[in-house]
Structure 1
Amino acid sequence: MSFSKTTAIAALMTAAAALPAAAQDLCGGAAANGTWIGGSDETSDIASGFGPFDMTAQVPAGGEHVAIFNVSTASDVRVEAAPVADGDTVIDLLDASGVVILSDDDGGGFLASRGEISLDPGTYCLATRSYDDAALTADVRVGLTVHDPITSGGFNDYDAVCLPETEAVSFGGTNLNEGLEAGVAATASIGDTPFYRFNLSEPTSISFTAENQSADPILRIFDNTGYMLAENDDYDGLNSRLDFVQPLEAGTYCIGLIALSDPGAPVTVTANAFSEQDYLETLYNNAETSPPLDGSYPVTDLGLISTRARADVRVDDDLIWHQFQVDQPGLILIEGIGTGGVDAMLTLFDDFGRMITQNDDYGQSLDAQIAARVQPGTYVLAVGRPADYFYGEPGITRVGIEMFVSAR
């Protein structure tokens, strides 16, 4: 990797002092723990033409690294983050008010992140984090699109926008509303059909999916001006999903697709009328929240855990849910031992649906283990496999729960 004179300045200034109070409110407060990528406000203008800015980002576990830069004149800008060793970067580009105007996971190729966008004059923040919330080190570059990139890029144009004049295949005929109850679907490779266009005759809440893990699709929805309303990658394994709970207004829209892996793999795009029940069940199966404990969703009650409990759980594509109670403060230790090649995953929630902790692979194995301090009350445990299913097969996970209390 070659570095410009600006890069050298940035490297020397990475450990600069804390931002002045006036700058800490930038990007909706995200800049409070950020660093000017060029060392200072005055030396961080990417439109100056001196070359790209580079810095090494130390991303803490569960946190993010924020690089701040200026654009003095309207410019076409590329932002990138590439893991130095192990890791999977995710980037968000925020404007001065804190609105995310670009987000990317693997657009730089493999596990690196990359995005290109036209920016008006202003101040911007590039936030880099880890896909799995683990600590990582990443090379970060902010440059103009005429500068050399540090990432290889993926199979598609990541700056692709669906404008009114963009060629797109009709989706759902002249009125998508007419087919939503039964569902509207189309299948084609993203290489051949990156855009679909549809019309709504009335305000409508819709759910969209893009499915084929071999393609690893990114799903985008644009309005008829080319403004991107929403984007999703890896909602269900490597498949994507967008739920418009608030109705889309009547009008013309465009579906945009990007293949992070195989652009020749057939991807099925589906639109359905939004279903709150289906939406909630998807959240449950992604361990984004826990189901209610009122009997409306299957949850097995393991009762009071005073010493030790054990259960064999058959896991397939859906998570299996259990609840248990503790009657005194202490430490709960839960182990998930996969049999026959099962990749066990455990997620622990309190009874309000707030995640306490989650674990997939503990140590060097595919087994899972979590430990958490608990107070008297009810807890909810999800047992299953990681959403990407890269490792392991459906089968039995042996779950052991042990309760430890302080000696008196």
Structure 2
Amino acid sequence: MPRLAAALLLAAALPAQAQDAPICGGISLVGDWLGGTADASDIATAEAPFDASGAVPIAGHLVRMFTLSARAEIRVEVAARPEGDPYVTIFDAAGTQVGEDDDGGGDFAARAEMSLEPGSYCLAARSYESGVTEVDLRVGRADQPAMTARAETAPAYQGEASGGCGAPDIAVLAEGITAADIADGLSAGGPTGATPAWALSLAEPLSLTLTGVSETGDPVLRLRDGTGRLLAENDDADGLDSRIDIADPLPPGEYCLEVEDLNGSENDVFVEILSFDPDAERRREIAAGNMAPGPSDDTPLREIGTLETVLVTEAQATTEAVWFSLNVAQGGLVLIEALGNGLDPAVSLFDRAGRDMGRNDDGPNGLDAQLVTKLFPGEYLLALRMVGDGQSGPVRIVMERYVPAQ
């Protein structure tokens, strides 16, 4: 389908009644209340969780809104039907991101759990798929039934008898860990067939970064407490390698780091425990194109001008994001393409306040990225990076702005 036709079809799909005012600080002009109205969408007082369904458009997002009349622990879940890989971001009324998740619900479903203050909120469901993704959504309190497969309390490790979480002969990584012990990192490794988990204990409250690295494997990390309850997990944080960041200090006690290799059980996987460094984490997120740099960051910004109708630029892209700044003179539907000529580029777009306006890896035309979104006039930041270890090469960025026919 020609680009202009695809863009106009997407614009035509926007409900006219929802285009009068921006939602959640401008993340969208289109969104529905989970309960039909704001008053009927109060998670804090609802007797049951709110269920909904919809379609995540190509290179776009599906927005649903809810309210809280009192502080509450809530759960937001998004699952593709029949299959797909959605992810979800939650914003407050000002457009500030307050939560996100990709695969926390198991089987590629997203599941975010958080404590929120009274107010109005939006969830934006997006997808890593190159086509339209049908999804089911559920938003409810933590004390209400979940939609996704993960149980409220995760079961103990059920892996190989050689020593998983809960087994009597589990390998010990370290005991009585203090901040001084992990200043330079604690590490261990081996095939997951022989060591599917590592026991560790903390002597004091600690914020941690845990990594799983393998030259030939595809490690997945799961951190459990002493009862087997799943605290966090990650698959592909850095290429095929995994990383779990625990910003809020874990209390002293017993823990277990479960290691799975999706490429088999004979590959060496090396795990490491480090002190969580918020500045390093911020730099990683900016380098990955997941967070926009702020005024205090030293990230170079390449100015590419004002988008009136068409802007074209080229850049040498690597797996570390290259950042651009651009101005949109007038609002309209904007199409952004990253053409890699056989390479695999990805783009992500943020407004000047750092709000996530959309991202895409593989658009409808193979590995090239294509992002379609409706923008207001203003300044925006665009990140370009390569997907896959060691990829680099020239990428052409094409930006086009469309306006409704008069």
Q: What range describes the TM-score normalised by the shorter chain of this pair?
A: 0.5 to 0.7
Aligned mates of 2:173, 2:46 — CA distance in 1: 37
Shift of residue 161 of structure 1? 6.8
Shift of residue 197 of structure 1? 1.6
Q: What are structure 2's unaligned runs of at least 5 residues?
A: 1-34, 36-41, 64-78, 88-100, 110-124, 137-146, 150-157
Percent identity reads 28
Alpha-carbon distance change, 89 to 244 in structure 1, aligned in 2, over 3 angstroms: closer
* Aligned partner of residue 371 in structure 2, secondary structure: strand
Partner of 1:322: 324
Q: What are structure 1's unaligned runs of at least 5 residues?
A: 1-17, 19-23, 35-57, 65-80, 91-99, 114-128, 144-154
Shift of residue 382 of structure 1? 0.9
2:51 pairs, out of 29, 33, 46, with 33
Aligned length: 303
Partner of 1:224: 226
Larger Rg: 1
1:370 aligns with 2:371: yes
Aligned mates of 1:320, 1:199 — CA distance in 2: 40
Aligned mates of 1:369, 1:184 — CA distance in 2: 41
1:360 aligns with 2:361: yes
Aligned mates of 1:350, 1:26 — CA distance in 2: 31
Partner of 2:256: 254
1:292 pairs, out of 285, 291, 294, with 294
Listed as ranges, the matches of 1:150-229 within 5 Å are 156=159, 162-163=165-166, 166-172=168-174, 174-175=176-177, 177-212=179-214, 214-229=216-231
Give the counterpart letter for 2:306 in structure 1. L
Aligned mates of 1:131, 1:370 — CA distance in 2: 12
Aligned mates of 1:267, 1:28 — CA distance in 2: 45
* Aligned partner of residue 33 in structure 1, secondary structure: strand
* Aligned partner of residue 233 in structure 2, secondary structure: strand
Aligned mates of 1:356, 1:286 — CA distance in 2: 16
* Aligned partner of residue 281 in structure 1, secondary structure: helix
Superimposed CA distance per residue, residues 211-246 of structure 1 (whole angstroms, 9 cap, x where no aligned partner)? 237533221122223322222222233322211111
Instruction: Tell me if structure 1 keeps the 8 A contact 2:323–2:383.
Output: yes
* Aligned partner of residue 280 in structure 1, secondary structure: helix
Aligned mates of 2:46, 2:194 — CA distance in 1: 39
Give the counterpart letter for 2:50 in structure 1. A
* Aligned partner of residue 50 in structure 2, secondary structure: helix
Aligned mates of 1:28, 1:283 — CA distance in 2: 36
* Aligned partner of residue 171 in structure 1, secondary structure: strand
Partner of 1:396: 394
Instruction: Tell me if structure 2 keeps the 8 A contact 1:176–1:199.
Output: no
Structure with higher RCO (Cα < 8 A, 6+ apart): 2
Shift of residue 406 of structure 1? 6.3
Partner of 2:128: 132
Give the counterpart letter for 2:399 in structure 1. I
2:308 pairs, out of 290, 306, 322, with 306
For the aligned residue pairs, the C-alpha RMSD in angstroms reads 4.3
Instruction: Tell me if structure 2 keeps the 8 A contact 1:156–1:258.
Output: no
Shift of residue 404 of structure 1? 4.5
Instruction: Tell me if structure 1 keeps the 8 A contact 2:289–2:384.
Output: no
Instruction: Tell me if structure 2 keeps the 8 A contact 1:217–1:233.
Output: yes
